[in-house]
Structures are given as C-alpha cells and as structure tokens.
C-alpha cells in the first residue's frame, strides 16, 4: 500500500516531465490527437533496487520538495517512435534520480508493436509497473484486474481529480472509466488552445557559421540557407509527422489558425484580433506558410518523411 501511494505521487509529478521529452507518441490508431492517451499503474511488483554506495553527504544534490528517503524504482513501458529513440540516460530521468530519489526505467516498445506486446504481457501476467495507452487499452486491460483502480485513492489526489472532472474535461475523463471507475492518468498538457509551436535551433551551428540569432521568419530562412550551404549533405529541418503537420504548425506561428484543416479537426476558429470566426486556410498568412515551405523544399532545406 505504501509503495502504491508513492508510485501514484511520483507519477503525477513525473508524467509531465517525461512526456515533454518523449513528445507525442500515441498508440491510438484513430488519427485524432493525444487527448485520449494516459498512463495506467499496474499492480506488479517493482524490480529490486540495487544497493547505493556510500557517498560524501556534503556533495549531495539539493532535494526537490517531493523526495523519497528510500529509493523508489519502477518500469514504465512507452511506445517508441522510430525517429526518436527513447533512452534511460536523459536529463529529465537523471534529474528525478538525483533530486527525488526516483529511478524510472523506460521499457521502450516500437509503436507498431505496442498493442500486441501489451496484450501478450497481460495474458502472461508480466505487465510492468506503468503502461502507456489510450482509452481503448484501458478497456482491454482493466477487466483483467492487473491495472490499478484509481478511484480507490480519491482522497490522495483531490486537486488532480478536480481538474479532470471539471466541465471542460469530464467527457474525456469518462473515456478512462471502466465499470464506473478511473484507470488511467491523463496527459493534461494536451489540453491547450490551438497549437503554438516554438522554433528551436542549434546555437552551436549559429556560432560555427557566424550566423546572427534569427528574430523573424525571414532571418530564420536565411540562417537555414547558410547552414545548408556549409553542410549540403544534410537537411536543415524536418518533421516526424508529415508535411500537413508541419504546415499546420508553421501556419499557426505565422498568424493563420485553423490547424485542424491539416489534421482531422475543424478549420474554423475564433480570431481574437478580428473578433470573428474565421476559416484559417483563407487567410493570407496561410498562403505565406505554404509558400515558405514550397521555397524551403525547392532549396533542399527539408525532407518529406
């Protein structure tokens, strides 16, 4: 019971940290967004913790507000996108080990095989401590009694439940129910207004080729050209989700909403600058985004995956 409470507590703290690194992989084949994706705690025992050698206490790192005196370790099975391999040696996981005394072992499974692997492990009673999955996964596994019924622990997470049972989230929360009980933690970061991507660029390349830090889309494009000129065998940027996803993200950043037009949602949205409803792809900014990507493709700056 004690370990279950600890595991629930650290999951609530760690879900946002880890998924911000393992960004966006989903086992739901419906084609929608990841709002139906969550994490379920299984009731298997954790791997045995190895003894920690004695260290100089004066060199101990500063503890986080949530810190476990005894090491807490568990295995988390996550669907892995082939373009972004998962690793146990990453900054976020190392921070949790160092500052919270929590050791999360990532068990990566190819996204295409995740459901098959999950079904096999359920049938053989070998599920890891935590699994990733959609509401469909919960429907398939909860009946086995192998994942934790979170409704039994309502008193330990009132703030979290107040969020997921609010009017704006209750419909999605109900999709995590099985026989009237909740069986999965939701990734709440997915609930946001529109898509607001930020541009990341390698500062080492800017320094290497003496390129000023871009402050506009035009300057960013010029920087791309310089990098490509100096490294012609590589592409400057790409996306793991296809050209329509890339177009939707860039269009939003350039001032044209209606991201759903490039995915599966609605292209009509409320434009606050005009105080009216707008069909995003008809805006001039959307045309600018299309032209931007067309020029980039012509100049060999990115590859279509």
Residues 123 and 243 in one domain: no
Total number of domains in the chain: 2
Domain of residue 18, CATH code: 3.40.190
Rounded to 5°, angle at Cα 172 from 178 and 5: 60
Looking at residue 196, what is its pLDDT?
57
Residues 175 and 212 in one domain: no
Look up the domain containing 258 and give its range. Answer: 203-298
Boundary of a domain, candidates 159, 190, 221: 190
Residues 24 and 53 in one domain: yes
Looking at residue 22, what is its pLDDT?
39
Question: 106-129: per-residue pLDDT in tens?
Answer: 999 998 888 889 889 988 989 999
Residue 209: pLDDT band by 50, 70, 90 thresholds? Answer: very high
Boundary of a domain, candidates 190, 212, 235: 190
Provide the terminal-to-terminal Cα distance of the chain, rounded to the nearest Å.
47
Residues 141 and 244 in one domain: no
Residue 103 backbone class (left: φ over 0; alpha: ψ -120 to 50; beta: rest): beta
Q: Which residues pair with 79 in a beta bridge?
A: 109
Q: Is 50 exceeded by the pLDDT of residue 78? A: yes
Looking at residue 14, what is its pLDDT?
56
Residue 214: pLDDT band by 50, 70, 90 thresholds? Answer: very high
- Pick the more confident residue, 131 or 25: 131
Report d(CA 237, CA 114) in Å as an integer.
28
Residues 149 and 49 in one domain: yes
Q: Stretch 82-87: mean pLDDT, rounded?
A: 79
Q: Are 111 and 82 in contact (CB under 8 A)?
A: yes
Integer angstrom CA distances of residue 140 from 135, 153, 170 = 9, 22, 21
Residue 107 is classified by DSSP as: E
Half-sphere exposure of 6 (CA within 13 A, CB side): 18
Residues 183 and 284 in one domain: no
Residues 127 and 211 in one domain: no
Residues 165 and 29 in one domain: yes
């Amino acid at each position: 019971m004690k370990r279950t409470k600890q595991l629930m507590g650290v999951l609530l703290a760690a879900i946002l940290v880890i998924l911000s690194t393992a960004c966006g992989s989903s086992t739901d084949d419906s084609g929608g967004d990841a709002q139906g994706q969550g994490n379920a705690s299984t009731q298997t025992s954790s791997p045995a913790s190895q003894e920690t050698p004695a260290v100089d206490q004066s060199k101990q790192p500063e503890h986080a507000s949530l810190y476990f005196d005894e090491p807490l370790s568990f295995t988390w099975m996550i669907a892995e996108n082939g373009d972004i391999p998962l690793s146990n040696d990453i900054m976020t996981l190392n921070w949790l080990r160092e500052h919270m005394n929590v050791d999360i072992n990532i068990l990566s499974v190819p996204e295409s095989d995740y459901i098959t692997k999950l079904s096999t492990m359920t049938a053989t009673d070998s599920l890891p401590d935590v699994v990733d999955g959609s509401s469909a996964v919960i429907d398939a596994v909860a009946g086995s009694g192998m994942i934790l019924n979170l409704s039994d622990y309502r008193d330990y997470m009132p703030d979290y439940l107040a969020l997921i049972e609010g009017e704006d989230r209750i419909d999605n929360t109900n999709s995590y129910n099985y026989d009237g009980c909740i069986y999965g933690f939701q990734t709440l970061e997915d609930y946001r207004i529109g898509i607001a991507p930020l541009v990341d660029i390698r500062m080492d390349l800017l320094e290497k080729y003496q390129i000023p830090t871009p402050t506009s889309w035009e300057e960013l494009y010029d920087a791309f050209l310089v990098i490509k000129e100096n490294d012609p065998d590589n592409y400057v940027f790409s996306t793991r989700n296809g050209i329509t996803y890339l177009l939707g993200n860039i269009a939003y950043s350039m001032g044209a909403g209606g991201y759903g037009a490039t995915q599966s949602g609605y292209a009509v949205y409320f434009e606050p600058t005009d105080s009216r409803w707008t069909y995003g792809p008809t805006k001039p900014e959307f045309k600018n985004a299309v032209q931007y990507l067309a020029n980039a493709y012509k100049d060999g700056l990115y590859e279509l995956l």
